[in-house]
Structure 1
């Protein structure tokens, strides 16, 4: 049986949200999908669908947006302002297309990671996980 390849940007973003929200282990346990636009429609430039937020472990530590997710006609795109270097490195190692924001003149730089099929969702989740680990390591050393 041949599975149909999922290349609908909105569906890919939904799968990614389910994967992130459904994980209760490791670095992903504190992540939540926030500010979701349930009626989002894909656009050529990408329409913001939701944010991926690390919830603060206590009131003394604020929640931190890890990425914003945008939907296009045939793919989803994650924009990492936090941990952009870790996102770029992880995405490249996992064979996901990554681009840097050419318009960023000062840090924080933005790394765009493209999720171009349903099959790439697990790899994109690993990128998110590595960014969370990097941000956590930076906060304990800085």
Structure 2
């Protein structure tokens, strides 16, 4: 039985970023932007990076590096977890997180956000369903 769990917030966020950048089919069109490679976890959460959806104005495939990007989520690191703040499609993010068995709560902000807590490295794969839900929402954000 494995007793070691990955509960370092920075490492969990790194794993999530790797999944986003390496998942061509599931998360096509999402990318990691504004990454802080030297981010240090704080109790309140330090911004590690943003997740953006490529939104070409002409509606073509979103593979161009110069294509406009829409921030759909932000990832923060705390000492013992990572936190995804869904900016786009907060309701879809909440539903997907709940169905994936992740801890979730709304954030009173304008516009509203949904907080999804990734408390273990094993939960990273489940968190991808949240990003898929955000990605799949038309005109989200």
Instruction: State the match for 1:95 in structure 2.
Output: 101
Within 2, Cα distance between the matches of 1:12 and 1:3? Answer: 17
TM-score by length of 1: 0.86
Please list every run of 5 or more consecutive structure 1 residues that lacks an aligned counterpart in the other structure. Answer: none
Aligned residue runs from structure 1 range 1-142, under 5 A:
2=2, 4-26=4-26, 28-58=27-57, 62-102=68-108, 104=109, 106=110, 108-134=111-137, 136=138, 138=139
Please list every run of 5 or more consecutive structure 2 residues that lacks an aligned counterpart in the other structure. Answer: 60-66
SS at match of 2:84: strand
Q: Which moved more, 1:5-14 or 1:17-26?
A: 17-26
TM-score by length of 2: 0.87
SS at match of 1:99: strand
Quote the RMSD (CA, aligned, Å): 1.8
Within 1, Cα distance between the matches of 2:25 and 2:48? Answer: 24
- The C-alpha deviation readout for 1:20-61, integer Å capped at 9, x for no partner, is 1100114x1111100000000000000000000111235677
Deviation of the 1:92 alpha carbon: 0.7
